[in-house]
Amino acid sequence: MQDLELLAKLHVRDIISLAAVLKGEKPAASLVVPLEAKDWFERFCEERGLVRFEERPSDAYQAWFFVCYDEEIAALKRRMEEFKLSLATVKGKLATFSGGKAYGEVGKALTVVEGAMYGYPECCVESYAARGPASRARAYEEFLERGRDQAIPIEFWAVAHAPCSSDCRETVELGKRYLDAVSELSESLREHVESRLLLPRFYQTGGGRFIEIEPLDYDRVRGELAVSREEFERDARARLPEPVEVLLCEVPRPYVLVTAREEPPYKVAFPNPDMIGTMWLAYTPGYGAYMVNARTGQVALYITSDKWIPKVGEEWRSVSNFRVYKAVKSGAV
Ligand SMILES: [Zn+2]
């Protein structure tokens, strides 16, 4: 079926979310749709009776859609967005009268409602509401502490929410149900989805930003590369403190693309469009990364915590940032 082939234009995480909404396993999802798939996506929703609207204007790379199976949920989402906007505009005034507590409490309550709207587990929503977006790193810190960072159950990558812990059962159960929803659409789509979920990921865990990486054999492709291993390693070690890990990989289009105002030699937007292709990746676990296009020599990423944390806030510092994680199918551990 042609639609199912076109579905593969979405990132796997969004394919899974969309399948879960279609099958009634998830009330709503926020999806990142590549611009070239936007017209198809709108038609797809139309034909299947899914309610959708753009959450914010498209940028140079992608459109941002809210999709759900029910007009009432769509109406709630719209009202919540309006409410959040007016709340943000009076934030300063509220702080004058009540020290900002009201703003914080309402913000938490909105997070809880929104979590329910997306069908996230209550334990994870509570944890996110209490600790904020940077809390996503916590589950990964636990995976590292327990030596399970190279064998993460794929269900953790099948869901969109920040799990409350590395052994959140609700998350694993939800992931299973979502993957079953993909199977109901098509077994071959499930195979595609699983093969992508099983790719290693390079993570900046706090913000949930990651790229998938397909490791390459240097000896097989070295003739095609503009940058040799020796050259790259020398460069990387001049920019990052030890221990530096180096690998050659192919990076497919990430689920989201961002840009930022850069201050050379740093390039901190992650993931950005220059990261797609054959990449040399070097990283100091927990601290920073340096990435160069192996075919052109163009710098794709250069970020260190010393540069990045002062801009975004101390809560984003985590040993789990800038590491490669691997997934396994359930039952494989
Ligand atoms: Zn949980």
92 alpha carbon – ligand 1 mean position (Å): 33
Instruction: Tell me what pLDDT residue 134 has.
Output: 87
Of 50, 72, 73, 82, nearest in space to 119 by CA: 73
Tokens of 224: 């095609």
| DSSP assignment letter at 275 | G
Instruction: Tell me what pLDDT residue 331 has.
Output: 59
| DSSP assignment letter at 299 | E
124 alpha carbon – ligand 1 mean position (Å): 4
163 alpha carbon – ligand 1 mean position (Å): 5
Report whether pLDDT(1) > 60: no
pLDDT category, 102, cuts 50, 70, 90?
A: confident
Q: What percent of the chain has pLDDT over 90?
A: 84
Report whether pLDDT(100) > 80: no
31 alpha carbon – ligand 1 mean position (Å): 22
Tokens of 317: 């510092």
**CA dist., res. 232 & res. 222, Å (int):** 13
Report whether pLDDT(99) > 70: no
174 alpha carbon – ligand 1 mean position (Å): 10
Mean pLDDT of 137-145: 96
pLDDT category, 333, cuts 50, 70, 90?
A: very low
Mention every residue, 6+ apart, whose C-beta is less than 8 A from residue 115: 122, 124, 125, 128, 129, 161
153 alpha carbon – ligand 1 mean position (Å): 14
Mean pLDDT of 298-322: 95
14 alpha carbon – ligand 1 mean position (Å): 20
Q: What is the mean pLDDT of the chain?
A: 93
Instruction: Tell me what pLDDT residue 95 has.
Output: 65
315 alpha carbon – ligand 1 mean position (Å): 20
Contact 55, 30 (CB under 8 A): yes
Instruction: Tell me what pLDDT residue 153 has.
Output: 96
In tens, the pLDDT along 40-83 reads 999 999 999 999 999 999 999 999 999 999 999 999 999 999 99
199 alpha carbon – ligand 1 mean position (Å): 24
Instruction: Tell me what pLDDT residue 88 has.
Output: 82
Say if strands 28-34 and 62-68 run parallel, antiparallel, or are unpaired.
Answer: antiparallel
Mean pLDDT of 218-227: 97
288 alpha carbon – ligand 1 mean position (Å): 28
User: In the chain, where are the structural domains located?
Assistant: 2-198, 210-328
The whole model's pTM is what? 0.93
215 alpha carbon – ligand 1 mean position (Å): 31
Backbone angles phi, psi at 129, to 5 degrees: -65, -35
Q: How far apart are the first and last CA of the chain?
A: 35
160 alpha carbon – ligand 1 mean position (Å): 12
